[in-house]
Amino acid sequence: MRGRHLETIRLGLPHPAADYGRICTMKNRSTDLIEWDDALSQGLGCSGTRYTLSYAQPFDERSLDRSARRSWLILVDGSYVCSAESAQDALARSEGLEALRSVLQGRCDQLSDEHCRVADLIASEMLQAATEALSLSPHLEAEGDLLRNIDVLHALSSAIHSECLNRQRESKTDASPRPN
């Protein structure tokens, strides 16, 4: 990435085995789907996916816009996927992406209720972004790809919603008193 300086830096957060509930700003989301290195800059998800968190200026250093803020970039298997405003949000988004991978791999049973909720939020964000992209440029060559992505994201959201509903039903059944 010429002209863009990416630097993977230590986040200054405790070791991955520590309690992240106190540092995550995104509603205390769990961070146990990804095994992070000591610097919390690189991690390996339970799906085998590699995650990298980098802190970067969003524009070229020659840019006239010196007020552009730096942000946390989330790379998945070496490809840029999204960004976040804080290190904690980058960790939480990475976990949400890994939860989505788990859903796609049919491993919902290995996810907590919180992971399912985060996966649902990430899928909803992705669906909204794809829908907005389609509405802004309906005559793109990639229109077919966007429509396929939207269909897949709808199916993914439906699968996550079904899993959440099943879990709610099961928890109500478990909580109801048993007949004598």
pLDDT tens-digit map of 72-118: 999 999 999 988 999 999 999 999 999 999 988 888 888 888 898 88
Q: Which is nearest to 52 in space by CA: 86, 18, 80, 22?
A: 80
What average pLDDT does range 55-71 have in this prediction? 63
Query: In whole numbers, what is the pLDDT of the chain averaged over residues?
Result: 76
- Taking 3-state DSSP, the helix, strand and coil percentages for the chain, each rounded to the nearest 5, stand at 45, 15, 40
pLDDT digits (tens, 9 = 90+) for 8-34: 333 433 333 333 333 333 333 445 899
Q: How many CA atoms lie less than 13 Å away from 72 in the CB half-sphere?
A: 21
Strand, helix or coil for residue 62: coil
Rounded CA-CA distance 117/160 in Å is 8
DSSP string, 67-103: TPPPEEEEEETTEEEEEESSHHHHHHHHHHHHHHHHH
User: What per-residue confidence (pLDDT) applies to 2?
Assistant: 31
What average pLDDT does range 127-134 have in this prediction? 88
Rounded CA-CA distance 130/56 in Å is 24
User: What per-residue confidence (pLDDT) applies to 98?
Assistant: 95
The label of the residue with tokens 């209720």 reads: 113
pLDDT at 177 over 80: no
Strand, helix or coil for residue 124: helix
